[in-house]
Structure formats: structure tokens, C-alpha cells
Chain A
Amino acid sequence: KAGVTQTPRYLIKTRGQQVTLSCSPISGHRSVSWYQQTPGQGLQFLFEYFSETQRNKGNFPGRFSGRQFSNSRSEMNVSTLELGDSALYLCASSLAPATNTGELFFGEGSRLTVL
């Protein structure tokens, strides 16, 4: 069974540009969450999607957005990139939101560097 797949794995952008990251969840999983990991702030929740609807959102500016498609694949977009957006962006999938098992399956992440 394939795991969570994130693309691209690495990318470099310059300030002011925008970026789109993709996440394919484990087959059959319908919930996708996104997290940002930086050395200073650690792992922080961005947002969660289930059945193409955003169910939960973290404390990030509106430049960060996402969506989910009918096949459960998800994308996140960051517009007007800032140096502080350099981070590892992690996607996690689960069967459904907040099942009592709470088990999320994380991908390897997309490492974004903003110059």
C-alpha cells in the first residue's frame, strides 16, 4: 500500500513568487492535513480538508490556502512568498477527521527555500 506522496520534494523560490504543493493521500483516506515545520516554530498545523471542505484552520495568514479534490488529493498554495516561509511542509492523511485512533500518516514533506 503506497504511503502519502508529496510533490515536489524540494523547491527554491524567490520572494514575492507563489508556490503550489501537492499531496496524494493513502488510498481510501479522505482527510488531509497540512503542517509547516521550521527550526524556530517547530511543527504547526496549517489546515485540514475532508470531503473537499476545509474543516479546520491554523493561525496562518491568508497567503496560505489549500483545497481538496474529489479524489482526496490536496494542494496548498502560498502566495507572495516571504523569507520566513522557508520550511518543510508536511501533509498527513487519515481515514476520517478525528477518529479516536488519531493516527495520522505523514508524507516525507516538501522542502521550500525562499531566497
Chain B
Amino acid sequence: DAKTTQPTSMDCAEGRAANLPCNHSTISGNEYVYWYRQIHSQGPQYIIHGLKNNETNEMASLIITEDRKSSTLILPHATLRDTAVYYCIVRVGITGGGNKLTFGTGTQLKVEL
């Protein structure tokens, strides 16, 4: 699975958009980009995933560059409850290939008043 690079930490004001970047310059054509987050002392929570098109769900938007070498997770209106470590993961999406996720160090997002 491709290696990802994320900033160690970021701050965001409550109510503003939080934009979390991720570099995955060695991503292969069949690898998906996934985002999970982990709120302190809880298990990771799935947020969103995509292959090459931008994706949006009730939690966030995922913007993937045209060359797929980087992506940005957008939380449109961050709240204090969004304070968490955000993990960007890339992995092959092959049926039957297993559910092994390789977590990096992630970005600690702190949302403040």
C-alpha cells in the first residue's frame, strides 16, 4: 500500500471549514484513498473514501487532485466534537484482498472556540 504524508497537527476555529491535506505521491491506479478519524480513547471511525472523483457524504468532502498524488478532506463546519486524529490511508480495493489498513501517524485536528 502507498505511503501517505500528513501534517502532524492543525487548528481550526469552530464553525469554519477544516481542510486536512494528505500526500500520496506513490499511489497506484487501483488504490483508493480512505479517511478515518479517532476521537480520544475511542476506536477509529470511517469518514469517506474515493478513487479519483471528488466525493461528499454527510460528514465530509474528499477532494482528490487530477494526478491523484494528493487529496484534501474537508469538514465544512467544524465543531468541537470534530477534534480528533485524522488518518489518510491508501490501499488496493480488490475484492477478497483483505481488510488490512496501514495507518500512519495522522493529523491531530484541534477545533477551538
Interface residues of A (CB under 8 A from B): 4, 31, 33, 35, 42-45, 48, 55-56, 58, 90, 92, 94, 96-109
Contact = CB atoms under 8 A, between A and B. Distances in A.
Interface residues of B, number: 26
Given A97-B97, A98-B98, 9 more contacts: A33-B101, A43-B101, A45-B100, A45-B101, A48-B99, A102-B32, A102-B34, A102-B93, A102-B101
A108 B87 CA distance: 17
A97 B45 contact: no
Given A98-B96, A98-B97, A103 B102 contact: no
Contacts of A98: 92-99
A104 B95 contact: no
Chain B interface secondary structure, helix, strand, loop or mixed?
Answer: loop
Contacts of A45: 100-102
